[in-house]
Structure 1
């Protein structure tokens, strides 16, 4: 190992998001692609240009590490190679792309109103102990949206919350030990439940199927034939997990920042036209997925560093989004930045197909909260992260409601 590779830095997996950013900043002084501290054999792309290039180079860097050697029918969309990736992706886009998912916006608005009603009721009794915004708002919204789009019963949303957390922990354990694990094996209970929903739909006459994601997966052909049930299960489980984790984290991260910036919150109440900018800035400064794991497929170069086939590279989105060569004062939460060029949803052909849906969920949650809460403060200012290292989001976020807004009649 060269002197350049002997990296001494703060911990890029630190509990505190700003300490993670400090670690990335030190790593960038060593180069655009450097060894990941504490993980032997793992490289980290830590500049904006190297991360964007790595994510865009889908022929050089493939899906999730440990997934490529799985049977094709067990791979989720992020691990499927082109050209099949694009064909399966079209099915997902047909349901979760923003112009398709907008149809559930009224439902999500009503859901957020009801969730905030419950949260405010509890807050009145809790006093200075506060209430957990993650439990009451950030956690329930994403699985409710996904189950609605899939065509699953609303009651499934609550089940998915714990299953997704357990799956994430199992994936992390497998990655740490160098094992491959199919998404279907990450949670047998969830697998059985999804299989049951598929069987229920198949038992119905096809002409009675609703126009939802499950029907699309069961009826759409790829390369002249329909997807097998194992592949459908893998895509559905991935959508549930990815569509829940990142959005929950993003909502929690946004309110964590607003809790530490009360003047920004007050400004948003005065001028809600800045809501979209606040959502984008929260996504930038605290990327809900801090890195994406990629495996090099062929000899290439990234950030002026040669990369050999089989090499695992963490595409550190959290680092790219705070690259001082791209963003002025990158560690400042600035709603007036007004930029959507962050990499929190990836980049290029394989950008997250649910990005528009996630933005809509975050925006609806913030607007609903702004309409009901004049001011709040953090009951506990410390960031308590989720236990999955590659993700960034508060596990709990206790807030105290200082003043409620008069409730307006609902349509």
Structure 2
């Protein structure tokens, strides 16, 4: 469950670059959603970072921050704001605006769209429930669910789509159980989540798509508000009941704010964890020596997941806005400038990681930015790791014949923000 961001369909007015790029010939800027760049972004991102780790892009009307050090500066500096619901609303077609007011009020309550101290106040409500110790209570359930899903959908010797068979349904199952969503409500719940994803990740472009996404967010909020009322009357062993028992709802955080944050949890958790599983498995299958090293010693599975987060994680970048003028690596960033914090490039910065383009399960470092850093470090990181490790562990131990299927390279969803496969054909 990583930090979510928005991609306005209509970017703001371009701001002039405040300094000339660093010297270096031979670099030609490319559109980040060019199909070739989207499919294999790292060669281009490396070239961009080498050319200028803080680059003003007239093409994208934003600063592209690709160096590890300047990106860390941005994640620490209060001058870099996470508040960006306004630009997302500006992208909504005029005909869909009547559906937008309540939907964007809900988004404004998401932690990821708030700066301190508001962000800190909202996040503290969940801090105890997301601690690694608390998440550990779900380990047995996650492991059992993993084996049950694999036994049903991934018969050894058969072929299938690991993304559709395992990487998507398993996090959905775990997160529904964790939130307390009854199994019978699952289809509607996950449909609304998918349509909210279209809105937040920029996939909605036409008026009809926007209307569907906006109404789905409202439906999700209404559903979770009802679930909160039920848990007040009848507490159970789930996240909502645990937070309500903490006594902060109605005190430091309103119930309306709590429900709004639950819509963020519902959306972000499944999407990020699914992509983490699929991308890590793909990396292992494309690097047989690394897969062999993990099979030889399955205690290396957590290291493989961490390396997957660094090498080809589920998030490519986050989008921020400059709240005031400030200096970044010799560049004069102006208030209102849009900033693309390209963590996918920073995670391969040779100034921070040795031999960064090599996938190595023995790297043994969790100092990547796959889950962000600082105030907006992914609050659900422990749960995402738990699920991903459980899946990879079972696949490594119980599926010795696991291999890529088909003769075409995997296809990737077109997205500035997410690194998400459209499918992962495999032989189990």
Structure 1 gaps, min length 5? 402-411
Matched, 1:308 2:320: no
- Residue 31 of structure 1 corresponds to which residue in structure 2? 52
Matched, 1:54 2:81: no
Cα 1:97/1:351, change in 2 over 3 Å? same
1:95–1:212 CA contact under 8 A, matched in 2: no
Cα 1:35/1:167, change in 2 over 3 Å? farther
CA distance in 2, matches of 1:268, 1:153: 36
Task: Compute the displacement of 1:319 (Å).
Answer: 0.6
Cα 1:159/1:372, change in 2 over 3 Å? farther
Task: Compute the displacement of 1:361 (Å).
Answer: 0.9
2:314–2:420 CA contact under 8 A, matched in 1: yes
- Residue 198 of structure 1 corresponds to which residue in structure 2? 225
Instruction: Please give the TM-score of this superposition, normalised by the length of structure 1.
Output: 0.84
- Residue 407 of structure 1 corresponds to which residue in structure 2? none
Structure 2 gaps, min length 5? 1-15, 90-103
How many residues in Structure 1 have an aligned counterpart in Structure 2? 388
Matched, 1:299 2:299: no
Cα 1:302/1:396, change in 2 over 3 Å? same
Task: Compute the displacement of 1:18 (Å).
Answer: 7.4
Matched, 1:75 2:109: yes
1:74–1:230 CA contact under 8 A, matched in 2: no
Task: Compute the displacement of 1:27 (Å).
Answer: 1.1
1:116-127 correspondence runs (5 A): 116-121=150-155, 124=157, 126=158
Task: Compute the displacement of 1:348 (Å).
Answer: 1.3
Task: Compute the displacement of 1:355 (Å).
Answer: 1.0
Cα deviations across residues 339-372 of structure 1 (Å, max 9, x unaligned)?
1110011111221111111111110111111221
Cα deviations across residues 361-405 of structure 1 (Å, max 9, x unaligned)?
11011111122101322113512113433100212000013xxxx
1:221–1:227 CA contact under 8 A, matched in 2: no
CA distance in 1, matches of 2:106, 2:166: 37
Cα 1:286/1:215, change in 2 over 3 Å? same
* More displaced stretch, 302-311 vs 197-206: 197-206
CA distance in 1, matches of 2:205, 2:21: 25
- Residue 274 of structure 2 corresponds to which residue in structure 1? 248
2:85–2:108 CA contact under 8 A, matched in 1: no
- Residue 179 of structure 2 corresponds to which residue in structure 1? 150
- Runs of 4+ in structure 1 off by over 6 angstroms are 174-177
- Residue 44 of structure 1 corresponds to which residue in structure 2? 64
1:75-114 correspondence runs (5 A): 75-114=109-148
- Residue 84 of structure 2 corresponds to which residue in structure 1? 65
Cα deviations across residues 173-225 of structure 1 (Å, max 9, x unaligned)?
49989xxx9xx99442353244234224425664x322532235556566973
1:120-269 correspondence runs (5 A): 120-121=154-155, 124=157, 126=158, 130-173=159-202, 186-203=213-230, 206=233, 208-216=234-242, 218=244, 225=251, 227-269=253-295
Cα deviations across residues 75-130 of structure 1 (Å, max 9, x unaligned)?
20011221121121112222222211111111111111011112333x64x5xxx2
1:285-296 correspondence runs (5 A): 285-296=311-322
CA distance in 1, matches of 2:186, 2:415: 21
Q: Give the 3-state SS of the residue equivalent to 1:394 in structure 2.
A: coil
Please give the root-mean-square deviation of Cα atoms over the aligned residues, in Å: 3.0
CA distance in 1, matches of 2:237, 2:118: 23
- Residue 404 of structure 1 corresponds to which residue in structure 2? none
Instruction: Please give the TM-score of this superposition, normalised by the length of structure 2.
Output: 0.81
1:258–1:265 CA contact under 8 A, matched in 2: yes
CA distance in 2, matches of 1:217, 1:280: 29
Cα 1:221/1:37, change in 2 over 3 Å? farther
